[in-house]
Homo-oligomer: A and B are copies of this chain.
Amino acid sequence: MSQGSLLLKMELRSNPETLCVVRNALGELAQTLGFPEAECRAVVLAVDEALTNIIRHAYQGRTEQPIEASFRRIRVARDGAQKPALEIVLEDRGATVDREKLCGRKLEDVRPGGLGLHFIRESMDKVEFRRRWGRNQLRMVKLLHAAETRKEP
A interface residues with partner B (beta carbon < 8 Å): 5-13, 17-18, 20-25, 27-29, 32, 64, 70
Contacts and interface: CB of A to CB of B under 8 A. Distances in A.
Given A5-B64, A64-B5, A20 B28 contact: yes
A32 B6 contact: no
A91 to B, nearest CB: 14
Contact of A13 (B7, B11, B12): B7
A36 to B, nearest CB: 17
Contacts of A23: 28
A11 B64 CA distance: 19
A129 B110 CA distance: 57
A32 B17 contact: yes
Nearest to A15: B7
A8 B10 contact: yes
Contacts of A28: 20-21, 23-24
A12 B10 CA distance: 9
Contact of A22 (B18, B25, B27): B25
A9 B10 CA distance: 6
Nearest to A24: B24
Contacts of A27: 24
Contacts of A8: 10-13, 18, 21
Given A8-B12, A21-B32, 13 more contacts: A5-B13, A5-B64, A8-B13, A8-B18, A10-B10, A10-B11, A17-B32, A20-B32, A21-B25, A21-B29, A23-B28, A24-B27, A24-B28
